[in-house]
Structures are given as C-alpha cells and as structure tokens.
Amino acid sequence: MSTDQTHQIVIVGAGYTGMLAAVRLAQRTRRRPTRITLVNPSARFIERLRMHQIAAGQELADHHIPALLDGSGVDFHQAAATAIDTASRTVTLDDGATLTYDTLVYALGSSTDTSIVPGAAEHAWTLNDPRLAHRFSVKLAEIAAAGGTVAVCGGGLTGIEAATEIAESYPDLTVTLISRGEPGAMMGDKARAHLHRALDRLGIISKIGVEVTKVLPDAVHLNTGELVAADLTLWTTGVRVSQLAARAGIETDAHGLIVTDATLRSVSHPEIHAIGDAAAVRMAWGRIHGTCQSGLPTAAYTADTITRLLRGKTVRPFRFGYFHQPVSLGRKDAVIQFTNADDTPKRWYLKGRAAIAYKESVSSSPVPAFRMSKYLPMSVQLSKGGRATRQPA
C-alpha cells in the first residue's frame, strides 16, 4: 500500500479487456481510497474485431480513450510499458515515467505473428493497427481498379471475415484464402456448409490443406510448390504476445502468457492480475483461447475480484463457458454456430439475416458497454459453462 494509504492500481493495455476493467473497477471502488491509472501507447481505442472492415475501406467511428474515460475517475497515461519491476512494484514507461502499483492488471493482449514465415514481416500486411489497415485499404482500392489479386493467409475467423469483406467490397478482385486447416472446422456440418457456400458465392478461391513457406512482394509460395499471385498479402495467422511479463520474472507459459490461478491472479506474483489474451486460463474442460467472448468476462471478473479483495471478502473462482461462434461473411451475410462450454458445436446455428441481427446484438461495438459500466456493473458474460466449469481445472 502506498504511504498515503491510497491503493494504487495500474492497468497496462487499453484494448477491450483493459478498458472494461478500468471503468468497471472505478465504478466499484468509487467510495474507496484508490487511484486507477490506465496505460496505453495510443489515445485511440482500437476495435480489433472490426479491423477487417477498415482494411476493406469502410470508415468506423473514431473513439478516443480519454473521452471514453471522462467522468469515470480513471487517469489515462499515454505511453508504452517497457519494464515491470516486481520487487519495487513499479512499471517503467517509454516516456521516462515510472508508476508505482499495489495492484497491477496486465492486459497487453496479442498481435498477429509475422515472424514464423520468411518474407511475411517484409511483404505481408496485418490487422494489428488501424493505421496500417487504412493504408492497406488505400492500396486495395488501387489494385481493385486494375483487377488485381489479394491473398489472405489464415483460415481462422479473422481470415474468413477479412476475405469475405474484401471480396464483397471489391468483386473485380481475385481473392484467395490460404489455410492449413479447413475454414470453419470448429463448426457443425450445416454452419460450415453455409460458410463455404458464402466463400463460393463471393468468388473466393480456397487453398485448403497447404502451408505458406515464403511471402514474396507479389506472390505467396506454398509447400506444394505452387506460387499464388498476390498484389497484396494479408497475414492473419499466428499469435504473438508481449514478452514484458516474462522479462520481469513473472511466471509465463511457453507462449509468454501469464500463468494464473483460479482467480486470474499470477501464480508467482498474486498482486498481478492477468486478463484477456495475456492470461493462460484453464477451466475443467480445457484452456480458454483468446476471443472477445472470453476476454470481456475476465476483465469484469477481475474488476469485481480486486474490489472484493480490497474489502477483505472471499473470492470465488472464475467460471466461463463458450456460447457461440459468430462469423460475419461480408455486410450481407453471417453464420452463428452455438456451442457447448468447451467451444464444440451444438446442433443449433443461424445464417443470413437472422445471423446478422444476432451478431450485431451480441458482438457489436463494446463502447456502449464501457460508457454504461461507468455507472453500473453490466453483465458481459453469456455463459458460465454450467456443470462443465464447476470443477477446478
């Protein structure tokens, strides 16, 4: 505890999880002697789930973090965290400042890894940054005017959404989706069939069961020896997380995620709470993988947990179960696969307009939730997983 008895809470990272944790924690601790500081390199809030729309040339609302925090009592510090000293409980920032914490919330998230294939870092684009996505959209328009080619590498949800968005926006482009596994493999047969029909309808060429071995300035080389022409290459596969925690001596897994206990606290440094893509979280059914669906509940839970700890109350273990897999297929189509807690598919799914309406209602912009959370603790969790999560991992 700081000498003035004000509990210093520092949150590093202002993505979906960091933002929600900050505003919810401020609301819950409003009457307690706390100071909450949110640290982020950019003052702009990035809606990562909608980056593929920016890449396809669509204009999205420009949200600024200080404006979103207005009235919450949270202090915003625009800088990047460069080091954590767990002994002195300080965070060093790239602007020369040092922040002292009693409680640290680690919410640095993840980004697309372009280091795994030669040429990807030099010649491929990613959706890691809205400025890069916008520059990609400018290049895309130029290439579309000439009837050019685009390769989207990665058949996960991000790759699917990006490929369909681009193909719908620019029907004269030749769009190739390259994937090691089958796109939509996690879905049931009917939902996956609808997804593949959408790819065919949009004229997307699918290269499935192949691997990219090299990215060239104007092509992608596959392990089959085939060369796929690409005036632009969009890289959506592979995940990289910050090594800040590992460098600080905080226990991490092989991927650099902070190993947490049942209450999302670091097993080596319990004053540190890890949320979202930065945390290695296990349920009885297995490990949670990084999505907004799982990330926001970790943020809300952690805000409530810190509040309970400050009040000297006991904390129940975190419980989470997946509920759905929502995938947009351009602006005019979507598919929703409903799931069991472990993310395996159930029988039920939605497609077309019903899926669009559903997706917009449950996974649209989180900004309204941030604003409302300044005044009351909103629920952001669709499912706690029922019996599947009642036993410890």
Query: β-strand 212-216 against 219-222: which pairing, if any?
Result: antiparallel
Rg (CA), the chain: 21
DSSP secondary-structure letter at 56? T
pLDDT at residue 329 tops 70: yes
Q: Do domains 7-109+242-320+380-389 and 120-235 have the same CATH topology?
A: yes
Domain spanning 120-235: which superfamily?
FAD/NAD(P)-binding domain (3.50.50.60)
Q: pLDDT exceeding 70 applies to what percent of the chain?
A: 97
Average pLDDT, the chain: 93
Tell me how far apart the alpha carbons of residues 68 and 165 are, in angstroms, rounded to a whole number.
28
**pLDDT in the model for residue 339:** 96
**pLDDT level of residue 340 (50, 70, 90 thresholds):** very high
> By C-alpha distance, which of 337, 333, 324, 382 is closest to 356?
333
The 10s digit of each residue's pLDDT in 169-223 is 999 999 999 999 999 999 999 999 999 999 999 999 999 999 999 999 999 999 9
Tell me how far apart the alpha carbons of residues 63 and 16 are, in angstroms, rounded to a whole number.
12
Query: Among the CATH numbers 3.30.365.10, 3.40.50.150, 3.40.190.100, 3.50.50.60, which is that of 7-109+242-320+380-389?
Result: 3.50.50.60
Report the length, in residues, of the chain. 393
Among the ranges given (68-72, 329-333, 361-365), the one the predictor scored with the smallest mean pLDDT: 361-365
**pLDDT in the model for residue 345:** 97
**pLDDT level of residue 66 (50, 70, 90 thresholds):** very high
The domain spans of the chain are 7-109+242-320+380-389, 120-235
The 10s digit of each residue's pLDDT in 271-311 is 999 999 999 999 988 899 878 889 999 999 999 999 999 99
Mean pLDDT of 139-149: 96
The 10s digit of each residue's pLDDT in 223-260 is 999 999 999 999 999 999 999 999 999 999 999 999 99
**Measured CA distances, 348 to 89, 198, 358 (Å):** 48, 19, 13
pLDDT at residue 2 tops 80: no
**pLDDT level of residue 63 (50, 70, 90 thresholds):** very high
